[in-house]
Structure 1
Amino acid sequence: MTSDFATCRLGEGGPRRKSRVAPRYRKDGYDAAFDDRTLWLDAVWHQGVVTLVCPRLNNLAGVFRSGALALDGVPARPRVRHFYRHSLVQMRAPELPARVTLEVAGTRHDSAVSVTDPARFRGRNVIVTMSRDNDLVWIEDFARFHAETQGADAIILVDNASRGYGRAEIEQALARTGLDALVLRTDLPFGPRGRAPHANTELFLQTCVLNALRLRHLSEARAVLCCDIDELILSRRAPTVFDATWQSIFGFTRFEGEWRHAPTPAQGITVRHADHVLVRSGGRPSPAKWCIRPTGPLGELQWRPHVLEGFAFNWLFLSRAFTYHHCRQITTGWKRDPHRDDTAQLVPAEPAAVLARGRRRVAPRPAAAVRAGWNAALRRGGEVLSRRFFALRPASQVVSLLILSCLGIVLEEAIDDDPAQQEIDAILAILDATPQIDQMEATLDVWF
């Protein structure tokens, strides 16, 4: 197996992950594409904690409860958190350990521990994308477009077991775009496509990759844009999506896209992004993509391809200042067959290059300056507190707000020289009437 991640998989004859999707929602080949063996994609040491980024554990959570975890042979107590498509297992580690080990019923599972490297992408505009078997011309066109029109500085491309070329060929294609390119590889299964409403429920790999990269490489990036090779991001107004995200208070921007189609090319001609000059009248928008400032208030939330995990306000950040072209024929056909599209209702539209013209950067972006002064210190402090707050589970956020309300009441009544006990008793009564915190967390995690 080829991987640039510290991956651990179960061996033959061991336990297996069970699917959460009922059989009636599974298409042909679903079980074969389902990842039932990966314990963790990556083990990352970051800020005194080793985090195992796992495909959603489901029943395999019991393996961590019954087994013995250790860091360099020293027993470790895990904290397990479950999200929609992934799980995190976290262990305190003041010093960087070399290996993490899980022993279950006499069987040892282990991997190295990845070291974080935020310096390479510090203060830079970074694209994050995954690819498998995409034409190298597509990859180069995609990267060059965003370098020229959105001011991208760097790209991290994770190759998922492409068969027609290797890492060196991808690096050569990206080098011609001027971007600082980091190409990583993993052979883990991408995951199965189900029937609605479970079309994407168990596509574990992309979400795991995003969160592993967030911890390993991107915690100090200026802004990070998550998009796919078949997508071209466009500004409807002057700022780039990286600049707008950097300058925004919360450091988060979401935007919808539109499907673009290309005329059927002549035999032997490779269709390109620039050929996508047709649209369908009244077509539905493509699902929102996002750009985030990792050092901002929302920087510690979990990443998914279209939303921030567990954040109830994704919808508030949908911006009309940006859009993207979702190029229908930039595909290997693994998810959709572009040749089956009904082209009768397609009408001509301006190509992406024309729409981007006049919005290109006329001067290089200055390096991110270090903020100074009292206002800057207050802003940094507010961002740190916000990051800690939004990283909490929803139930913990509710409890924190109630506690702050109590403190606010005490302060107000102290100023007014009135007793605060009546208001506090009312809040405590509400808390007494709620379920236990663990049950609240489980329920709210499902909602959000």
Structure 2
Amino acid sequence: MVVPRPVLLSSFTGMRRLPVRPAEHRPPDFDDKFDADTLFYDAFHDSDGRVVLLGPPFLNLEPAVRAMQVTALPSGSACRFELRNWNRHGQVLVQAPPGTTGLDLSLPIGAVSVAISPGETDVFAGRRVMFTLSRNNRLAWIKDWLRFARDVHGADAALIYDNGSTAYRPEALRDAIAGVDGIAVARVVSWPFRYGPQGLDATRFWDSDFCQLGVMEHARRRFLTRAAGAQNADIDEMLLTRTGRSVFEAAASDPFGVARYDGRWVSAPAMGTRRQRQPTHRDHRFTLKKKPVRRYGILTADAHACPPKWTVVPARIPDRVQWSVHAFGRWLPGRRKSSDFSYRHFMAITDNWKYQRSGSEGTDPAQTFEPDGDLASHFEAVDWSR
């Protein structure tokens, strides 16, 4: 179990983070979902000897953060730092002397002391890690998700951020992972921060959902720097290989350490009907048919494809390239996609937190779905009993 050490604005100042979205484009629950209070999610030592403070973007707080004075504890040494204000994410990288256990931050808006956690990159050194953000996913789903990755891709480690689950305590998640054979190392990180308001549609106003991008950089810098590979996938996603090759092997052999791939939606046989029990991944056997569309007048794309996901060798991603959910900032090598892999996105593996997804396949599913033989053959390769 890992518990971050956040710094909240409300603990030392009356200032708050202000949203950038125009008021007329905010839904009624925007303020309830917006994280106005978290200055930093956590403070820890990274593998380069820096102290990393990371959190939501600084926005209106940036002038105060840039002007702050940082003092290392217990030495009392003044510290230089670098501020990074990235896409929906902020970082302060502090050059602190060896033996630093805390920091005093003196900002124009107030002062606060910060406790520093150790980095744990050695724990995952050489491991093939599955990492994700999860809230209230059924423990049986999480165990099957790990079993699939273990037997298809050789995953042997798990890093799961629990975003304030109410269906069980984080310790129950930890114990469930411990029951999966072959997962040699695991960490469950308590991540109770607000997920944040999402965009209005696929392209507009993606400006306030800070939580998941914070997980990406926290996982990268506190845990994964020395991992052999790290696969970013949600619990409702499983990755198929068209060649039989592990995605971790593909990332390791890539010149830039990246394997990136599209996904497809899959549904269970009882499409559109009331199910008598909770569905599993293995109930899903039908894939949403492709819908070819023209892009730029010359390229053919699948309008039903899910946005890309990825697997990387963490140490080979440049330090100044931000990890994001579907890509890597503006880093061109991270925008390539491989046709050797395709993930499946399971419609009924959800508690419908975002929208009513399960049972939403339509009135005539046979017109839009087709049997997925590749998925079925991958299921047969998994030992679901251990």
Q: 1:14: which partner in 2?
A: 14
User: Aligned in 2, Cα 1:167/1:97: closer, same or farther, shift over 3 Å?
Assistant: same
**Contact 1:71 / 1:97 at 8 angstroms: preserved in 2?**
yes
Cα distance in structure 2, aligned partners of 1:357 and 1:182: 26
Higher helix share: 1
Q: 2:56: which partner in 1?
A: 55
**Contact 2:133 / 2:163 at 8 angstroms: preserved in 1?**
yes
Q: 1:181: which partner in 2?
A: 186
Q: 2:315: which partner in 1?
A: 295
User: Aligned in 2, Cα 1:59/1:102: closer, same or farther, shift over 3 Å?
Assistant: same
Cα distance in structure 1, aligned partners of 2:85 and 2:126: 31
The one of 371, 379, 382 equivalent to 1:349 is 371
The one of 256, 271, 278 equivalent to 1:270 is 278
Q: Give the TM-score normalised by structure 1.
A: 0.75
1:67 CA drift (Å):
3.4
Gaps of 5+ in 1: 362-448
Q: Matched residue of 1:274: which SS?
A: helix
**Contact 2:17 / 2:59 at 8 angstroms: preserved in 1?**
yes
Q: 1:26: which partner in 2?
A: 26
**Contact 2:64 / 2:109 at 8 angstroms: preserved in 1?**
no
Q: Does 1:285 align with 2:305?
A: yes
Structure 1 range deviating more: 260-269 or 324-333: 260-269
1:186 CA drift (Å):
1.7
Q: Does 1:75 align with 2:58?
A: no
Cα distance in structure 2, aligned partners of 1:106 and 1:28: 30
Q: Does 1:327 align with 2:327?
A: no
User: Larger Rg: 1 or 2?
Assistant: 1
Q: Matched residue of 1:279: which SS?
A: strand
Q: 1:241: which partner in 2?
A: 247
1:101 CA drift (Å):
2.5
Q: 1:308: which partner in 2?
A: 328
What is the letter of the counterpart of residue 276 of structure 1?
A: H
Cα distance in structure 2, aligned partners of 1:288 and 1:130: 17
1:341 CA drift (Å):
4.3
Q: RMSD in angstroms over aligned alpha carbons? A: 2.4
1:116 CA drift (Å):
1.4
Q: Matched residue of 1:76: which SS?
A: strand
Structure number with the bigger relative contact order (C-alpha 8 A, sep ≥ 6) is 2
Q: 1:54-102, CA deviations, whole angstroms, 9 ceiling, x for partnerless residues? A: 2111111122134332221433233211111111112211314211222
Any residues of structure 2 matched to 1:46-445 within 5 Å, and which?
46=46, 47-72=48-73, 73-105=76-108, 107-178=110-181, 179=183, 180-196=185-201, 197-198=203-204, 200-262=206-268, 263-264=271-272, 266=274, 268-281=276-289, 282=291, 284-296=304-316, 298=318, 301-315=321-335, 317-338=336-357, 339-344=359-364, 345-350=367-372, 353-356=375-378
Structure 1 range deviating more: 151-160 or 75-84: 75-84
Cα distance in structure 2, aligned partners of 1:57 and 1:351: 48
What is the letter of the counterpart of residue 61 of structure 1?
A: E
Q: 1:45: which partner in 2?
A: 45
Higher strand share: 2
Gaps of 5+ in 2: 292-302
1:51 CA drift (Å):
1.8
What is the letter of the counterpart of residue 145 of structure 1?
A: F
User: Aligned in 2, Cα 1:96/1:226: closer, same or farther, shift over 3 Å?
Assistant: farther
Q: Matched residue of 1:134: which SS?
A: coil
